[in-house]
Structure 1
Amino acid sequence: MAHAAPAPRRMARQRRRPDVFSARTHAAVNAGLPVALGLIYGFWAAANRRFGGPITGWNLLFGFLTALVFAVVFAVLWRVSPRLGRGAHALMWFVFAGCAAGFLVSQSNLSVLSSIGVGLFTGVGILLINFYRFYSREDPMGLSRG
């Protein structure tokens, strides 16, 4: 009698999700998401910094520079972090989210301790969520599956 050859374990464990978007859509999101999030973050930081006062040229410059830095750091992190292990991957998002939240609070004229507290609280939440997500989607060899 003939029997089917057993499938390798790595192939049997990987479940591929269907890709419903085209390559063009993925490219547009890869370019547009950091820019859109950066503009939102820059507007938020500039609004916190002006305290409800008039919009000035320096305030616009601050908002656009903040948006540029946020977008560049987010894009680099989004590209580099999936290549790391689950701990380092989650730790990079922890640092990014904590610094971003702490910076926003620091622009609203609150104390440094408030800024540190909000940054740590936000970062720890992101760390726990991401570590669980990456831990549950990683194969035993340590490679991320998305």
Structure 2
Amino acid sequence: MAYAPHASPTQPAATGHRAASAHWAGPALLGIVYGIWAAGIRRDAGPITTGNVLFGVVAGVIVAAVYFALRRTAHTLPRELRALSWTAFAGIAFGFLYSLTDASVLRSVIMSLLVAGGVFVVTFYRYYTTE
């Protein structure tokens, strides 16, 4: 084979166990962090209880499952709906965590709308410029 200075070396595609573990690593890590964060906010410096741990596990599993489903299906949507789906996910996830801090409903809604608006601007711009 001749040397081609303009050609870049190729790596074999990830197959088998490595690809599957990489596919689940993002949602699992996000679920763990989100669950610990939600349980920590709800605990509010009190003792760690079974209910608190269960709350964190359930919150983390739900966020991880929704994130996983969104990652698998978002690419089939047009760019506007794809940006809106990520916007809704981020706004709801942030709003839920913010509501655990005993803030008023109005403040929770306003903060989650601000976060969702920022996510929409960033994701729409990214999808619009990369298609």
TM value normalised by structure 2: 0.86
Q: Which of 59, 66, 80 is the matching residue for 1:73?
A: 66
The alignment-based identity, stated in percent, is: 39
Which of 81, 85, 98 is residue 92 of structure 1 equivalent to? 85
Once the two structures are superposed, the pairs formed by residues 28-107 of structure 1 within 5 Å of their partners are 28-107=21-100
CA drift at 1:23: 3.5
- Provide the C-alpha distance between the structure 1 equivalents of 2:107 and 2:11, rounded to a whole number of angstroms: 43
> 1:39 & 1:21 partners in 2: Cα distance?
28
Gaps of 5+ in 1: 1-17, 139-146
Following the alignment from structure 1 to structure 2, what is the Cα–Cα distance between the partners of residues 42 and 94? 20
| Counterpart Cα distance in 2 of 1:95 and 1:106 | 16
Size of the aligned set, in residue pairs, is 121
Separation (CA, whole Å) in 1 of partners of 2:11 and 2:38: 36
Residue matched to 1:9: none
Greater alpha carbon shift after TM alignment, 114-123 vs 59-68: 114-123
Deviant stretches of 4+, over 3 Å: 18-21, 23-26
Unaligned runs of 5+ in 2: 1-9
Point out the structure with max Rg over C-alpha. Answer: 1
- 2:125 matches 1:132: yes
SS of residue paired to 1:82: helix
RMSD: 1.6
Query: How far off is 1:20 after superposition?
Result: 8.0
Structure 1 pair 19/86, CA: closer, same or farther in 2 (3 Å)?
farther
Q: Greater helix share, 1 or 2?
A: 2
CA–CA distance in structure 2, aligned partners of residues 19 and 37 of structure 1: 28
Distance 1:37 1:82 in 2: 20
TM-score, length basis structure 1: 0.78
Q: Identify if the C-alpha distance between structure 1 residues 19 and 77 changes in structure 2 by more than 3 Å, giving closer, same or farther.
A: farther
CA displacement at 1:38 relative to structure 2:
0.4
Task: For 1:126 and 1:19, locate their aligned partners in 2 and report how far apart those are by CA, in whole Å.
Answer: 34
CA distance 1:23–1:122, change in 2 (3 Å)? farther
